[in-house]
């Protein structure tokens, strides 16, 4: 249950990681706080939100079961709980 939240959290952090790698490539030490003094934080936040939105849209479109499939709720069989399908 925690996995989808982890995916979205990673998608949100991708622009910040890309900017840190950019700073590191320019030899400005992107992994220290001094390299982030003039960072475009608003742009990174907006890009992170866009990444999360795209991830949610892709998850909604491609995730789950096919349309028209039957849902079988959880039920008891021979005294054991059978998970929903």
- What's the rounded mean pLDDT across residues 64-75? 84
Classify strands 75-77 and 80-82 as parallel, antiparallel or unpaired: antiparallel
Q: Which residues have C-beta within 8 Å of that of residue 12, sequence separation ≥ 6?
A: 48, 49, 51, 52
- Helices and strands per DSSP (H, E), number in the chain: 2, 2
Section 12-23 average pLDDT: 92
Mean pLDDT of the chain: 87
- So what's the pLDDT on residue 30? 67
Predicted pLDDT at 6: 92
| 54 pLDDT more than 80 | yes
pTM, full prediction: 0.70
């Amino acid at each position: 249950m925690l996995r989808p939240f982890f995916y979205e959290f990673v998608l949100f952090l991708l622009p910040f990681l890309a900017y840190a790698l950019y700073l590191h490539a320019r030899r400005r030490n992107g992994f220290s706080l001094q390299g982030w003094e003039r960072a475009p934080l608003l742009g990174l936040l907006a890009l992170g939100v866009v990444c999360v939105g795209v991830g949610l849209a892709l998850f909604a479109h491609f995730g789950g079961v096919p349309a028209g499939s039957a849902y079988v709720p959880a039920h008891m069989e021979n005294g054991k709980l059978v998970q929903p399908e």
